[in-house]
C-alpha cells in the first residue's frame, strides 16, 4: 500500500516521467500537473502565461523560475487532496520554493512530499525522442507506432518541436546543470526514490510502486 499523497516526478527529457506520472496519479487518485505540457497548451491558447513562456520553449530553455513557480502555486492552491507534479521543481530556486512555501493552505507545513527520480542512459533517451509523439488533445505521450492516442483515441499525434536533436541536447544539458543539483538539495529534506526508467511502461510502473511501498 502506498501512503503518500504528494509527489514530484523528475527525470531527463524522454525518461518517461509524463507516462509514469499520469499512471501513478490515476492509480492513487491524485491531481496531476505536467508543467511542460501546461506551458505548451498555454502557448497554443496565446494566453498571457503562454506569451511569457514562448520565447524560452522556442529556444529549448527552461522558463524563468518565477514563471514556473507562479504556475505551480496557482495550480496547487486549487487542489489539496493529493497531487503529483511532473517536471517541477527543476532548479534550486524551484526546489526551495516547493519545500519552503506553505503551498497548501490549511495543511501541515512539513508536508511529506516524495520525489520520484527516473534515470535512463543518454543513448536510450536519444533513441526515444526520435519516435516520441504527443497527443494534442489530452497531452498523453506515445510512440510513432501508434496512429491514434491510446488514451483518448484522438488522431492528432504530433512530434514535439523540442524533440529535434538540437532541442533534446539542449534540454538534457539544462537537466544536468540545473535539475541534478536541485535533486541533491531535495535529497537533504525529502525522500527521493531513484528508479530506473528502462523497461516497458508496466515494468517501470511496478518498480516505482515497489519503491514507494
Ligand atoms: P517537459 O514537457 O517536461 O519536457 O517540458 C518542456 C519544456 O517546458 C521544458 O524544456 C522547459 O522549457 C519548460 N518547463 C517545464 N517545466 C519547467 C520548470 N519546472 N521550470 C522551467 N521550465 C520548465
Residue 158 in any domain: the answer is: no
134 in any annotated domain = no
| Structural domain contains residue 43 | yes
Residue 154 lies in a domain: no
Among 38, 40, 128, 132, the active-site one is: 132
> What is the residue range of 25's domain?
6-121+181-212
Instruction: Look at the chain and report how many structural domains it folds into.
Output: 1
Provide residues with CB under 6 Å of ligand 1.
13, 35-37, 39, 56-57, 61-63, 68, 87-88, 90, 94, 162, 171
Of 98-107, 146-155, 173-182, 196-205, the one with minimum mean pLDDT is 98-107
In a domain, 25, yes or no: yes
Residue in the structure block whose three cell numbers are 503551498: 103
Handedness of CA 106, 109, 66, 16 (dihedral sign): negative
Q: Whose CA is nearest to atom 15 of ligand 1?
A: 36
Count CB neighbours of 63 within 10 A.
20
Confirm whether 90 is a catalytic residue.
yes
In contact, 186 and 94? CB cutoff 8 Å: no
- Atom 1, ligand 1: which residue's CA is nearest? 36
Catalytic residue among 38, 40, 90, 128: 90
Query: Binning pLDDT at 50, 70 and 90, where does residue 212 land?
Result: very high
What H or E segment, with its residue span, contains residue 184? helix 180-189
The answer to whether 15 and 119 are in contact (CB under 8 A) is yes
**What is the pTM assigned to this prediction?**
0.91
Please give the DSSP secondary-structure letter assigned to residue 62: P
- C-alpha 14/C-alpha 74 separation (Å) is 26
For 57-112, how does the pLDDT look when each residue is reduced to its tens digit (9 = 90+)? 999 999 999 999 999 999 988 887 789 999 999 999 999 998 876 545 444 545 68
CATH number at residue 109: 3.40.50.300
pLDDT in tens, 190-211: 999 999 999 999 999 999 999 9
Asked whether residue 171 is domain-assigned, the answer is: no
Gap between the terminal Cα atoms of the chain: 6
Q: Does residue 22 lie within any of the structural domains?
A: yes
Residue 140 lies in a domain: no
Residue 133 bears catalytic tag? no
> From the candidates 5, 17, 22, 38, which is the catalytic residue?
17
Of 22, 35, 103, nearest to 64 by C-alpha is 35
Residue 166: its H or E element = helix 165-174
Quick check: is 45 catalytic?
no
- What is the SS3 assignment for 80? coil
Cα–Cα distance between 192 and 25 in angstroms, integer? 17
Amino acid at each position: 500500500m502506498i501512503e503518500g499523497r504528494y509527489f514530484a516526478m523528475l527525470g531527463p527529457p524522454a525518461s518517461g516521467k509524463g507516462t509514469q506520472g499520469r499512471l501513478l496519479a490515476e492509480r492513487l487518485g491524485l491531481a496531476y500537473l505536467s508543467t511542460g505540457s501546461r506551458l505548451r497548451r498555454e502557448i497554443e491558447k496565446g494566453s498571457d502565461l503562454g506569451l511569457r513562456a514562448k520565447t524560452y520553449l522556442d529556444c529549448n530553455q527552461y522558463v524563468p523560475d518565477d514563471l514556473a513557480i507562479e504556475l505551480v502555486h496557482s495550480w496547487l492552491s486549487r487542489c489539496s487532496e493529493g497531487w503529483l507534479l511532473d517536471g517541477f521543481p527543476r532548479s534550486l530556486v524551484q526546489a526551495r520554493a516547493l519545500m519552503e512555501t506553505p503551498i497548501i493552505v490549511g495543511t501541515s507545513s512539513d508536508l511529506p512530499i516524495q520525489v520520484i527520480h527516473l534515470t535512463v542512459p543518454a543513448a536510450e533517451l536519444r533513441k526515444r525522442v526520435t519516435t516520441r509523439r504527443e497527443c494534442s488533445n489530452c497531452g498523453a505521450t506515445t510512440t510513432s507506432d501508434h496512429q491514434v492516442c491510446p488514451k483518448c483515441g484522438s488522431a492528432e499525434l504530433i512530434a514535439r518541436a523540442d524533440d529535434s536533436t538540437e532541442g533534446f541536447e539542449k534540454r538534457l544539458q539544462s537537466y544536468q546543470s540545473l535539475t541534478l543539483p536541485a535533486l541533491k538539495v531535495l535529497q537533504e529534506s525529502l525522500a527521493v526514490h531513484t528508479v530506473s526508467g528502462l523497461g516497458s511502461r508496466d515494468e517501470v510502473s511496478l518498480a516505482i510502486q515497489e519503491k514507494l511501498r
